[in-house]
Amino acid sequence: MSIERLSRVGYARFLRDHPNAVVDVWASWCVPCRRFAPVFEAAATSWSPRIGFGKLQSEREPTLVAQLGIRSIPTLLFFREGSLARRETGALSADRLDDLLRKTFGR
């Protein structure tokens, strides 16, 4: 499993390196974010290296989070071939996340 911790500096590089990617925007104080973390980690184990998985901590990168239009967390951003393909808010179940990954990237 490989989940990259993202910063403002590394965000663009991550998307260049992983044209198919999922970014989890989260915060340490967010209970649903912490509850969702193991689901995201399991998906990364199943889908890597085909899809890049990144985590963006909203408290550390408020400017980038605002630029992305994030209004609530957790929010998942799905990028397909370098473009934002889907945005989902809330802590998803493993089945729902897998379904969204299949719909967005195929399998």
User: How many Cα atoms are found within 13 Å in the side-chain-facing hemisphere of 52?
Assistant: 22
Encoded tokens for 78: 């799905």
Of 25, 33, 70, 77, catalytic: 33
Task: Return d(Cα 13, Cα 35) in angstroms, integer.
Answer: 28
| Strand partners of residue 96 | none
Q: Is-catalytic flag, 33?
A: yes
Of 7, 8, 30, 42, catalytic: 30
Q: Is-catalytic flag, 37?
A: no
* Residues that are catalytic: 30, 33
